[in-house]
Amino acid sequence: MLQELRAALGDAAVITDPDILAGHARDEAALCEAGTPRVLVRPSDTSGVQAVVRIAAAHGVPVVPQGARTGLAGAANAVDGCILLSTQALDRILEIDPANRIAVVQPGVVNADISKATAPHGLRYAPDPGSWESSTIGGNVATNAGGMCCVKYGVTTEYVLGLEVVLADGEVLRCGRRTVKGVAGYDLVRLFTGSEGTLGVITEITVRLQPIPREALSIAAVFPSTSAAGAAVSAITAAGLVPSLLELIDQVHLRAIEEYRPMGLDTDAAALLLAASDSGVPEDLDRIARLCTEAGATEVHQATDALEADMLLSARRMALPAVERLGAVIVDDMSVPRSRLAEALDGVAAAAERHKVVIGVIAHAGDGNLHPNILVDRSDPASVAAGQAAFDDIMRLAAELGGTCTGEHGVGLLKRDWLAAEIGPTGLRVQQAIKDALDPAGLFNPGKVLR
Amino acid sequence: MLQELRAALGDAAVITDPDILAGHARDEAALCEAGTPRVLVRPSDTSGVQAVVRIAAAHGVPVVPQGARTGLAGAANAVDGCILLSTQALDRILEIDPANRIAVVQPGVVNADISKATAPHGLRYAPDPGSWESSTIGGNVATNAGGMCCVKYGVTTEYVLGLEVVLADGEVLRCGRRTVKGVAGYDLVRLFTGSEGTLGVITEITVRLQPIPREALSIAAVFPSTSAAGAAVSAITAAGLVPSLLELIDQVHLRAIEEYRPMGLDTDAAALLLAASDSGVPEDLDRIARLCTEAGATEVHQATDALEADMLLSARRMALPAVERLGAVIVDDMSVPRSRLAEALDGVAAAAERHKVVIGVIAHAGDGNLHPNILVDRSDPASVAAGQAAFDDIMRLAAELGGTCTGEHGVGLLKRDWLAAEIGPTGLRVQQAIKDALDPAGLFNPGKVLR
């Protein structure tokens, strides 16, 4: 098989060095198992991907597609004996069409590089996962990534118009369109989006661009309790306001950030709520600020300029790396109806208390999407077990509150059982029927999403 | 079979009167064939739908789901010997949750009734197909309906969060969620949305609501040529403006509207462009107006109040009924990249010229979505043939311009061959694999979308 791969891709694109393989065996999901890959391949065009898939199929060897491995659910983790198919060498922006506000890109292009390339045309690619400066668009599409702008602008799937995908038999499927609207046949684009590498290998993506919004005005509101911050979020939503950002940072994260990069954050606050508005209507932000005060904010600070607004945003972006310095982090991801944000925050705190673990929460609060980050000591089995018990409690809590086990990180290996519990036997059966229809031999990313 | 249906649903919900059956045999697609149904059933709850599907499956009788039959592609047309399954008795709004901006509705609820019910909460259901006052939300979801607000707010699929669907084996699938975000498993909601009744019967829909936008300011710009109007649309898009409505009405329709309901429209204009902005930033509309003038508009009229703005909108909504008074209309639906709108308009005019038929065009211009309405004399086979030849030319034109054969009306019976041409053999094979996975016996709406 290795010979066939080398003949198809050239020696340099077929890597068997054990250290490199070990370095590529997993994504950023802590505590997810990872197998030992047989080989890492880095095709640089669609026909190279086709060749890999055909060789893999002929040998009955599983294919695990990988982008930048910044995923948080283990979807890119190796399975034993697999071919790791990295899309990072498929890294070209093929076309920018400003008149139609689209770009055609290969999957290995880094998210932020799309907006950099389209900025001269006054356009951006909106979805901005935390990893936007390192994650690839292919991985973003495979996981249907979210981000901070989603509260106003929606998630990845809203920005994917067309895909080229290499199927399990090595054929190339082109689906979707270059037009704004289109309803020709089943929506295959959105079926592949979020399928976590289990249905095919994405080799080209047509994304929708958006005019760069007006400059956002930002505030930071300090709350004495997380539930007061939750109440503020509910009030903002209920008032019909549409902030362009509405993020919550709890005390655990505030302290971790301040320790990592001192910036004068109030580390006695229970929670900081960051809100921004790019509506162009200044009163909108004033109303958001007033609602924060009414909900109990002890201080509402308005950023005086773009620089300060950026600083607030970068504090939020620093939250995960800052907390990761404190220990191993089980990053969780739950989404609840927006009205139940305060209950979710209380429930997470109760789980931390119950299992004697530290859990910090950052949340895309405006979307009801929380990331409880559970700190564990990897060298202490009791600590890991306590963290996992808290994780399970949080997943149960998501279900009890009418929410979902994953808002934006995906299922991967981490949440297969929680997916099964959430969608039930009929849901699982339909999911499996679709998997079987597109990948009858189970070639792509076996054991991910569905067991 | 009829006895079993009566036992399951009650006599009143099982209709065999030939006149009623004939009246329900087709949707609003002119010139699409329709078969003779065996029976019309009107279940009023999910278990009734399950019973119908199980009885149909046991007898090997096809099921054709129907909403208000306002579709324009024949997707709701009867096939010979089928059970017509009307969802119109499933007509309850089950829940309005203003805090989470969602509503849970049955498929038979009329589109406009959702917004009426949610207006007291300051919320609306955004997608607004031309038929919004008569079409049902189930039909809207089944066809992934568009509308006039799509240019800013997107189409139906962006507003469907969750579905309950009765599958081909009579089981009930619940998919999707009540949260803003969620990526648990394959996106079944968006697979069923736009599947035109071929994969299951939708029995419940969780829709996303949206704060009622600020009052829109509107203008009407008069153009001496359709290509000048097309150029204005391109300029508006290129300037990064996001109008809340951007509609084109050509001379054929202007004259038909003015004859139907005189309102002082300029019937010498080649095209009227209606634009609105609800951004809350008054300069946005001024800029749109200026770009119209620069593109050659001979007159730009700003509506002085909401009443006048509504009048302009109602003129646009009247376009199809007005032109239908002139003869049988083959309603076409093509989407092209926005930058090619002017070419599309010229191409449609050339097709009319070539085949000596009258073709009027109304367009969701801001989306590049055109409706060439081909007027034919149903009693004259030569006229019908000429109309169909023009239709075929327009479909070829859509492909040549990098567009799609259907922007919002769907495939149904009307465009199966054009779908096949557009997506190619691999695309068709994947579409068929999904159909077979979910409906192996071909129970639901056979012969629609896929032959």
Tell me which residues of chain B, numbers 17 to 76, contact chain A at a CB-CB cutoff of 8 Å. none
- Whether the CB-CB separation of B181 and A150 falls below 8 Å is answered with yes
The percentage of chain B sitting over the pLDDT mark of 70, rounded to a whole number, equals 100
pLDDT of residue B31: 83
Q: What percent of chain A has pLDDT over 90?
A: 92
Question: Is A349's pLDDT higher than 90?
Answer: yes
Among B residues 337-376, those touching chain A with beta carbons less than 8 Å apart: 337-339, 364, 367-369
- Smallest CA–CA separation between B39 and chain A, in Å? 28
**Residue B240: pLDDT over 90:** no
Write out residues 157-186 of B within 8 Å (CB-CB) of A: 157-158, 167, 171-175, 177-186
Question: Looking up tokens 């009048």, which residue turns up?
Answer: B311
Confidence class for position A111, pLDDT limits 50, 70, 90: very high
What ipTM was predicted for this assembly? Answer: 0.96
> Could you say which of A144, A191, A406 has the minimum Cβ distance to residue B191?
A191
- Residue A184: per-residue pLDDT: 97
CA distance B127 to chain A (A): 13
CB contact A242 to B (< 8 Å):
yes
Using the Cβ of A436 and the Cβ atoms of chain B, whether some distance falls under 8 Å is answered with yes
Answer whether residue A125 shows pLDDT above 90. Answer: yes
Structure confidence at residue B320 (pLDDT)? 92
Residue A93, chain B, CB below 8 Å: the answer is no
**Chain B positions in Cβ-Cβ contact with residue A281 (cut-off 8 Å):** 280-281
Interval A170-177 mean pLDDT: 98
Judge whether residue B324 has pLDDT over 90: yes
Residues of B with Cβ-Cβ distance to A438 under 8 angstroms: 430, 433-434
Q: Is B214-321 a CATH 3.30.70.3450 domain?
A: yes
Nearest to A194 among B167, B187, B434 (CB): B187
Cα–Cα nearest to A89, from A45, A130, A142, A50: A45
* Mean pLDDT taken over chain A: 96
What DSSP designation does A400 have? H
Residues of chain A in contact with residue B364, where contact means CB-CB under 8 angstroms, are 181
Report which DSSP code applies to A247: E
Domain A214-323 falls under CATH 3.30.70.2190: yes
Q: Are the beta carbons of A192 and A141 closer than 8 angstroms?
A: yes
CB B355 within 8 A of CB B309: no
Q: What is the pLDDT of residue A311?
A: 87
pLDDT at A141: 98
Separation between Cα atoms, residue A406 and residue A332, nearest integer Å: 8
Task: Give the best residue of A183, A279, A414 to mutate against chain B (max B CB count within 10 A).
Answer: A183
Say whether pLDDT at B323 is over 90: yes
pLDDT digits (tens, 9 = 90+) for A257-274: 999 999 889 999 999 999
Calculate how close chain B gets to A379, using CA atoms only, in Å.
31
CA angle A363, A367, A372 (to 5 degrees): 25
A381 near B CB under 8 A: no
Terminus-to-terminus CA distance in chain A, angstroms?
A: 27
Q: How confident is the model at residue B309 (pLDDT cuts 50, 70, 90)?
A: confident
Residues of B in contact with A401 (CB under 8 A): none
* A142 confidence band (pLDDT: 50, 70, 90): very high
Which of B184, B403, B410 is opposite residue A183, by nearest beta carbon? B410
State residue A245's pLDDT score: 96
| Least confident span in A65-69, B182-186, B238-242 | B238-242
Contact status of A282 with chain B (Cβ, < 8 Å): no
Q: What is the pLDDT of residues B378-405, one digit of tens each?
A: 999 999 999 999 999 999 999 999 999 9
Token pair for A389? 């018990």
**CA proximity to A401, closest of B103, B162, B179:** B179
Identity of the residue in B187, B338, B422 whose CB atom sits nearest the CB atom of A190: B187
- pLDDT value at B185 more than 90: yes
> What is the dotted CATH code of the domain comprising B327-411?
3.30.70.2740
In the chain, the amino acid numbered B171 is: E
Buried-exposed string B72-97: b where 16+ CB fall within 10 A, e elsewhere: bbbbbbbbeebbbbbbbbbbebeebb
Q: What is the pLDDT of residue A306?
A: 83
Are the folds of B214-321 and B327-411 the same? yes
pLDDT of residue A199: 98
User: With bands split at pLDDT 50, 70 and 90, how would you rate the model's confidence at B310?
Assistant: confident
A261 to chain B, closest Cα gap in Å: 31
Min CA distance, B205 vs chain A (Å)? 16
Confidence of residue B312 (pLDDT cuts 50, 70, 90): confident
- Facing A179 at nearest CB: one of B143, B186, B404: B404
Share of chain B above pLDDT 90, in %: 92
Secondary-structure class of domain B93-211 per CATH: alpha beta
Q: Where are the domains of chain B?
A: 2-86, 93-211, 214-321, 327-411
User: What confidence score (pLDDT) does residue A308 get?
Assistant: 86
Using the predicted structure, report yes or no on whether residue B110 has a pLDDT greater than 90.
yes
Average pLDDT over residues A190-216: 96
A410 contact residues in B (CB cutoff 8 A) = 183
Instruction: Report residue A4's pLDDT band, with 50, 70 and 90 as the boundaries.
Output: very high
Question: Using one digit for the tens of pLDDT, what is the confidence trace for B154-170?
Answer: 999 999 999 999 999 99
- What number is the average pLDDT over the span A314-342? 93
Q: pLDDT tens digit string along A22-33?
A: 999 999 998 899
3-state SS assignment for residue A358: strand
Contact, B41 vs B24, CB < 8 A?
no
Q: Which of B122, B237, B405 lies nearest to residue A99, judging by beta carbons?
A: B237
The closest CB to that of A179, out of B101, B173, B368, belongs to B368
Closest chain B C-alpha to A98 CA, distance in angstroms = 7
pLDDT digit string, tens, across residues B208-231: 999 999 889 899 999 999 989 999
Mean pLDDT across the stretch A394-410?
A: 98
Q: What span, in angstroms and rounded, lies between the C-alpha atoms of B207 and B163?
A: 9
What would the CATH number be for the domain defined by B2-86?
3.30.43.10
Closest to A404 (Cβ–Cβ): which among B184, B195, B199? B184
Interface touch A99/B426, C-beta < 8 Å: no
Q: With an 8 Å Cβ cutoff, is B332 touching chain A?
A: no
Is residue A416 less than 8 Å (CB to CB) from chain B?
no
Write out the DSSP string of A280-310: S-HHHHHHHHHHHHHTT-SEEEE--SHHHHH
Please give, rounded to a whole number of angstroms, the shortest distance from the CA of B377 to a CA of chain A.
Answer: 29
Chain-wide mean pLDDT for chain B?
96
CB nearest A411 (choices: B151, B184, B408): B184
Average pLDDT over residues B33-46: 98
CA of B366 vs chain A CAs: smallest distance (Å): 9
